[in-house]
Amino acid sequence: MARLVNYQTSFADGQVSPKLKGFVDTATYKSSVADLKNFVVIPQGAVSRRPGTRYVTSTKSNLQSRLVPFNFGQDQAYILEFGNLFVRFYQSNAQVLSGGSAFEIVSPYGTSALDGMSFAQSADVLYIAHPSYQPRMLIRSGALDWEFETFWSKDGPYDLINSNESAKLQVTTTVPTSGKIEVGEPQVDITDDFFLLTNHDLLDGMVVRFTLASGSWPEWHGTLSTGGSPTAFDASTDWYVVNATATTFQVAESLVGRPVYLRASNDTVKVIKQIHAKGSAVTMKIGNGTSAQWTNSGTKTKDTIHTYPSASSAVTPSDGSTDLLFTDTAHGLLNDDIIQFRASGSVPDGISVSTNYYVKKLTDDTFNISLTPSTGANTTIDYSSSGSGAGSGVSWYKNKFYTAVVTHTGSASNYPTSVLGNDVWEELSINSGLGFVTTDNDSLMRFNPLTGSAIKWGYIQIDSVTNGLTITATIKEEIASSGANHEWRKSVWNDGDGWPRSVEIFQQRLTFGGNNTFPQTVWFSKTGDYDKFSPSEQIGMATGNVSASGARIVGEQIKDDNAISLTISSATVDLIDWMRSGKKLTIGTSGGVFQMYGSETEITLTPFNFTVDHVTSYPTETNVLPLLIDQQVIYVQKNKRKVREIAYKIKIGDTNATDLTLRADNISIKNIEQIVYQDMPNNIVWCRMGDGKLTAMTYNQSLQMSA
């Protein structure tokens, strides 16, 4: 009988699943194998023994670590070992030593944070993002000179501009000497009742004072009639700028007043603008910083602020030895929740009605309270005092702030949150109605104190929270007036809203993606200025623009290189898992993969030219970072069983997500925990499996090979 010999000349499709054994007539069957262990497919189609490994050292204490590449260029490459609160370093196949011992630095990241970290490198700086940590920078200054620095953004990113016109913010601190800036010596025009001063930078709503240069004070009159004696200007009166043009301005006695009439022409004064300068310490308040508990009687004046309970429950106070103990089954409160107490009988000794207290949760059924957040001492009660002791009929209330948008009379049916109340009350848009809380410390706010058409944004950093409506802060960019205005924006990054989950560098912009409160938002820095997130900038002040007459133009503009915030809009809330930069920014989410870029004709992203494209609905795995190979993105699908390729397909004229594990789905049954790419010599994607083994996939898109 003749013997049949089968020659296989190619292994270009690698190992395939037993599910393909019946497809003997396919091209894949003829160039694949059933089992391929300790071999890799090379791009030419043959197989070769897998490369060997080199033992360098063990992880510190043989505990969990995460290895991160750091490639400065010019043959200066490192491997960073992130472990429990430390980083160690490797270079040229050896551990970096200092004094004969492993060189390491202290890290803020513990073991539990390792899987959730995201990285982006720019020269000697490694940017690090994690949803529970403020972003950090790991900075290299030398082989043995590495340090962590906290990343502090400038002027953003922010939430939307507050639209509640009754929630007015203002600086209540008196303008210090540093904020009294001489603008110049104006000419006084008594014919048209204005001051003439070329190149002044005053805007409507700013406050000015005058000083006498020489001679006598100019005079003014409040009415057009010449009846009565005019009043001389002085050095102590605040005047509000109105009707400002590039070269002239008028003044009024109030922010909404009419300009005064000038009666004597003496060009002997200097105009001094009153601003809150950069670096000044200030107190800022919403309204006047106070609120009243809502009642169903009396007139509620427009713009006043009231509190109304969003939750409440009866509670049993008792003597907790040194602390007043409250018992309420399944109370639902968290540490630092702000509550107040009321009673149908009497409140316990040491407790005041309408005072804010901070919760110190002990169990799901018990809690203490404190007058200060977090580390503050608990409020105590002395049962031996001659008072009400534990009180009777006691209830706690978790209040929210509401502003009256029109003047009205309180009634039992128009309370905040009621159907009728929607017409007269609006929840304060700070922390979902809770007002300022301690997690706002160190966060930023942007504020335009000028009403009307004038715009001059400044921003502050919150130093401390006095109460829900009052903060102390440091001016980071000058606040042009002490006037109250509703145009303010609050930072979206803080301990309350959470910190960005991912970081990347895209088109010269440092880019952060998603936090707890804004899981679908991507924030892009100003082009070439990685720490600046200002959405607009001052014309003239920042750009040097002047008008045809030579006057400096002062206002706000959005330029192509300003910071950008884009939010993915989809039917579901798609948590951003990772971002990868190529010609387009590819974003992996729990709802699939998206791409952000300018447009197909102009790829550069700007505030005026942007596209958000939903590439595929296949979700991504949260803690498995993707690969960028040429311009193709390789990622692990949710559940860690599939590897997909995001690539443009000429045949369909669009980008899609190809399943690279389809022919060998049995290989990934142990779950893919991490993927890395080794370009030389054989274009291999290495997959670390859940059982500790390595799986290799030879990937060469130009050959359409994934084996």
Stretch 88-107: mean pLDDT, rounded? 94
Q: How far is CA 298 from the centre of its chain?
A: 41
Query: Which of the four pLDDT bands, split at 50, 70 and 90, describes residue 266?
Result: low
Burial class from Cβ neighbours inside 10 Å (0-12, 13-18, 19+) for residue 579 reads buried
pLDDT in tens, 500-517: 999 999 999 999 999 999
pLDDT in tens, 631-641: 899 999 999 99
CB 699 within 8 A of CB 685: yes
Tell me how far apart the alpha carbons of residues 152 and 134 are, in angstroms, rounded to a whole number: 9
Say yes or no to pLDDT of 618 above 90.
yes
pLDDT in tens, 567-589: 998 888 889 999 999 999 999 99
This model's pTM is above 0.75: yes
Query: Which of the four pLDDT bands, split at 50, 70 and 90, describes residue 543?
Result: very low
Tell me how far apart the alpha carbons of residues 487 and 471 are, in angstroms, rounded to a whole number: 17
H/E stretch holding 133 reads strand 133-142
pLDDT in tens, 379-430: 666 554 445 567 788 888 888 999 999 999 999 999 999 999 999 999 999 9
Tell me how far apart the alpha carbons of residues 15 and 36 are, in angstroms, rounded to a whole number: 6
Tell me how far apart the alpha carbons of residues 385 and 447 are, in angstroms, rounded to a whole number: 49
- Cα–Cα–Cα angle for 221, 225, 229, rounded to 5 degrees: 45
Tell me how far apart the alpha carbons of residues 616 and 660 are, in angstroms, rounded to a whole number: 15
In this prediction, residue 424 carries a pLDDT of 95
Amino acid at 348: P
Tell me how far apart the alpha carbons of residues 633 and 624 are, in angstroms, rounded to a whole number: 13
In this prediction, residue 550 carries a pLDDT of 42
| CB neighbours of residue 630 within 10 Å | 10
pLDDT in tens, 428-445: 999 989 899 888 999 999
Q: What are phi and psi of 541, to 5 degrees?
A: -65, -40
In this prediction, residue 542 carries a pLDDT of 39
pLDDT in tens, 158-196: 999 999 999 999 999 999 888 899 999 999 998 889 999
In this prediction, residue 36 carries a pLDDT of 87
In this prediction, residue 653 carries a pLDDT of 58
Q: Which of 426, 427, 424, 401 has its CA nearest to residue 413?
A: 424
Q: Residues with Cβ < 8 Å from 28, sequence gap 6 or more?
A: 13, 16, 20, 663
Contacts 24+ apart (CB under 8 A), 681-685: 681/42, 682/40, 682/41, 682/42, 682/43, 682/48, 683/43, 684/40, 685/627, 685/629, 685/634, 685/643
Stretch 256-285: mean pLDDT, rounded? 89
In this prediction, residue 101 carries a pLDDT of 93
Structure-block tokens of residue 51: 């490369």
Task: Tell me how long the chain is.
Answer: 707
Side-by-side strand order, sheet with 672-678: 672-678, 684-689, 694-700, 705-706
In this prediction, residue 388 carries a pLDDT of 57
Tell me how far apart the alpha carbons of residues 49 and 38 are, in angstroms, rounded to a whole number: 6
Which has more pLDDT, 5 or 360? 360
Say yes or no to pLDDT of 541 above 50.
no
CB 514 within 8 A of CB 316: no
Stretch 234-244: mean pLDDT, rounded? 91
Say yes or no to pLDDT of 378 above 70.
no
Tell me how far apart the alpha carbons of residues 383 and 528 are, in angstroms, rounded to a whole number: 64
Stretch 346-355: mean pLDDT, rounded? 79
Amino acid at 381: I
The upper half-sphere exposure of residue 26, i.e. CA atoms within 13 Å in the direction of its Cβ, equals 10
In this prediction, residue 701 carries a pLDDT of 85
Tell me how far apart the alpha carbons of residues 388 and 458 are, in angstroms, rounded to a whole number: 50
Amino acid at 680: M
pLDDT in tens, 45-71: 888 898 888 899 999 999 999 999 999
| CB neighbours of residue 486 within 10 Å | 19
Stretch 468-488: mean pLDDT, rounded? 93
Work out whether strand 305-314 and strand 292-293 pair parallel, antiparallel, or are unpaired.
parallel
Residues paired with residue 276 on neighbouring β-strands, in sequence order: 479
| CB neighbours of residue 305 within 10 Å | 22
Query: Which of the four pLDDT bands, split at 50, 70 and 90, describes residue 552?
Result: very low
CB 685 within 8 A of CB 634: yes
Q: Strand runs (DSSP E) across 332-391, as ranges? A: 338-346, 357-361, 366-370
Q: Residues with Cβ < 8 Å from 331, sequence gap 6 or more?
A: 313, 315, 364, 365, 366, 367, 396
pLDDT in tens, 644-676: 998 876 555 577 888 898 888 888 889 999 999
Q: Which of 668, 658, 652, 651 has its CA nearest to residue 635?
A: 658
| CB neighbours of residue 452 within 10 Å | 12
Amino acid at 179: G
pLDDT in tens, 124-156: 999 999 999 999 999 999 999 999 999 999 999
Q: Which of 287, 280, 282, 286 has its CA nearest to residue 436?
A: 286
Residues paired with residue 689 on neighbouring β-strands, in sequence order: 672
543 secondary structure, DSSP code: T
Structure-block tokens of residue 623: 């803690």
Token pair 């009846």 is found at: 227
pLDDT in tens, 278-330: 999 999 999 999 888 888 999 999 999 999 988 888 888 877 666 778 899 99
Q: Which of 270, 271, 249 has its CA nearest to residue 193?
A: 249
Q: What are phi and psi of 59, to 5 degrees?
A: -65, 160
Work out whether strand 145-150 and strand 133-142 pair parallel, antiparallel, or are unpaired.
antiparallel
Query: Which of the four pLDDT bands, split at 50, 70 and 90, describes residue 216?
Result: confident
- Cα–Cα–Cα angle for 273, 474, 282, rounded to 5 degrees: 60
The average confidence (pLDDT) of the chain is 88
> With respect to CATH, is domain 177-275 assigned 2.60.40?
no
